[in-house]
């Protein structure tokens, strides 16, 4: 019962936190670029405005896909706060990501098609990293269950420092921050700006935006597991991580997917092996 309440709380609070974070993100980014930037609540204003727009769609598959994307993202956050199994949470999240791609593929639009293919490469790049991070957590804690991991008596960061770096790669890709913003981008200087999202508009785009907030919160929640023993340090860790993401986003140029796949897989696997060997030796 307690799990259910926590899950519901997570599902209700996550989009609020995610929206605030998106607003803060834009403010900090503006500060880095010596601009004033929009109000903190701008992300909410945008989404409410989108919900009020006319429903314009190329086909009905897109509606199906964007809703499943949202439901899967919300459900995975709910499962996390309800202290479920990390792998299960991951698979539910992945289902949503797959539907986002399928919706984009269902449209005869060059931008959307290219975006969808790139999104697939991004999924291909971050998925194994996430599974390996979870496997690392399992090796330390002996369980995939979020509740058990939270109950572990030392910060995981101490034993899995390299896995945290691996996770931050996945976070950067999942947040579609530069240099990994291939499928869709926040910056207007890329050759494909909205890619996978091109054919979503109005309420459907709003749904995707909310789903993206859920996903951001989910990945940050996974980050928070690395210092779950102390609220203060957990928040410091999360703030530092997100700030680092913003710095990376604003200082890196976009690369190509080939580079991403080779670079992230090789770095990620190397770090994983080293960290796992430490665990076995220690």
Partner 1 sequence: MSNLLLLLIVLPAIAGLVCYFVRSSSVRTLTVTATGAVLTAASLALLGQGSFVFEASGLWESLVTVLDFALLFVVLYYGFKLKNLLIKVLTVTQIVLLGFFELFMLDHGVSVPALMGDNLALVMVLIVSIIGSLICIFGIPYMKEHEHHLNLKKSKQPQFFLFLVLFLGAMNGLVLANNILWLYFFFEVTTFCSFMLIGHDGTEVATKNATRALWMNSVGGVALVLGIIFAYLQTGTLGIVEMLAAGPAAGALLVAVGLICLAGFVKAAQLPFQSWLLGAMVAPTPVSALLHSSTMVKAGVYMVLRFSPMYEGTFLSHGIALCGAFTFLACAALAIGQSNGKKILAYSTVSNLGLIIACAGINTPLAIIAAVMLIIFHAISKSLLFLCVGTIEQAIGSRDIENMRGLFKSMPRTAVVTIIGILSMLLPPFGVLLCKWMALEAAADHLFVIVMLALGSALTVVYWARWAGLLMGGRRIESTPEKQPLFTRGPLMLLCAGALVFAFATPFLYREALVPMFAAAHAASHGNILDAATGGFAIYPFIMLIGVGALFAMYRALRSDVRRTSPYLGGAHVGDIEDGSFLGPMETAVPYQASNYYLGEVFGELRLTPWFNIAAGGLIILMLGGAL
Contact between 191 and partner 1 by CB under 8 A: the answer reads: no
Q: Which residues of 47-74 are buried (b: 16+ CB within 10 A; e: fewer)?
A: beebeeeeeebeeeebbebbbbbbbbbb
**Interface positions, 63-102, toward partner 1 (CB under 8 A):** 63-65, 67-68, 71-72, 75, 79, 82-85, 87-88, 91-92, 94-95, 98, 101-102
Q: From the list 33, 189, 258, 281, which residue makes contact with partner 1 (rule: CB under 8 A)?
A: 258
Nearest by Cα to 81 from 231, 218, 264: 218
Cβ count within 10 A of residue 276: 17
Contact between 280 and partner 1 by CB under 8 A: the answer reads: yes
Contact between 128 and partner 1 by CB under 8 A: the answer reads: yes
Contact between 106 and partner 1 by CB under 8 A: the answer reads: yes
**To the nearest whole angstrom, how small is the minimum distance from the Cβ of residue 122 to partner 1?**
10
* Dist. CA 221–CA 90, nearest whole Å: 12
Given the complex with partner 1, which of 43 and 107 has the nearer CB atom? Answer: 107
Given the complex with partner 1, which of 199 and 245 has the nearer CB atom? Answer: 199
Helix (H, G, I), strand (E, B) or coil at 49: helix
Contact between 228 and partner 1 by CB under 8 A: the answer reads: no
Q: From the list 56, 235, 270, 274, which residue makes contact with partner 1 (rule: CB under 8 A)?
A: 56
Contact between 144 and partner 1 by CB under 8 A: the answer reads: yes
**Interface positions, 197-216, toward partner 1 (CB under 8 A):** 198-199
* Dist. CA 10–CA 78, nearest whole Å: 6
Contact between 146 and partner 1 by CB under 8 A: the answer reads: yes
* Dist. CA 39–CA 14, nearest whole Å: 20
Nearest by Cα to 170 from 198, 131, 117, 136: 131
Contact between 234 and partner 1 by CB under 8 A: the answer reads: no
């Amino acid at each position: 019962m307690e799990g259910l309440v926590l899950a519901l709380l997570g599902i209700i609070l996550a989009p609020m936190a995610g929206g605030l974070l998106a607003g803060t993100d834009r403010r900090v980014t503006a500060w880095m670029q010596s601009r004033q930037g929009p109000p903190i609540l701008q992300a909410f204003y945008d989404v409410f405005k989108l919900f009020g727009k006319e429903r314009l769609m190329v086909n009905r598959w897109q509606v199906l896909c964007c809703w499943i994307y949202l439901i899967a993202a919300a459900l995975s956050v709910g499962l996390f706060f309800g202290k479920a199994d990390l792998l299960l949470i991951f698979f539910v999240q992945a289902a949503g990501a797959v539907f986002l791609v399928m919706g984009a593929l269902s449209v005869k639009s060059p931008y959307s098609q290219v975006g969808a293919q790139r999104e697939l490469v991004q999924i291909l790049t971050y998925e194994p990293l996430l599974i390996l991070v979870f496997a690392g957590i399992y090796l330390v804690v002996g369980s995939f269950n979020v509740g058990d991991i939270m109950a572990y008596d030392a910060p995981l960061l101490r034993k899995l420092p390299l896995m945290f770096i691996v996770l931050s790669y996945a976070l950067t890709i999942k947040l579609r921050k530069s240099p990994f913003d291939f499928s869709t981008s926040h910056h207007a200087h890329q050759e494909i700006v909205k890619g996978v999202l091109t054919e979503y508009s109005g309420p459907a785009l709003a749904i995707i935006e909310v789903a993206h907030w859920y996903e951001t919160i989910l990945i940050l929640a996974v980050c928070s597991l690395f210092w779950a023993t102390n609220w203060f340090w957990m928040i410091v860790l999360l703030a530092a991580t997100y700030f680092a993401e913003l710095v990376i986003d604003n200082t890196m140029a976009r690369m190509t997917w080939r580079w991403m796949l080779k670079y992230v897989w090789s770095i990620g696997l190397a770090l994983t092996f080293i960290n796992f060997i430490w665990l076995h030796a220690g």
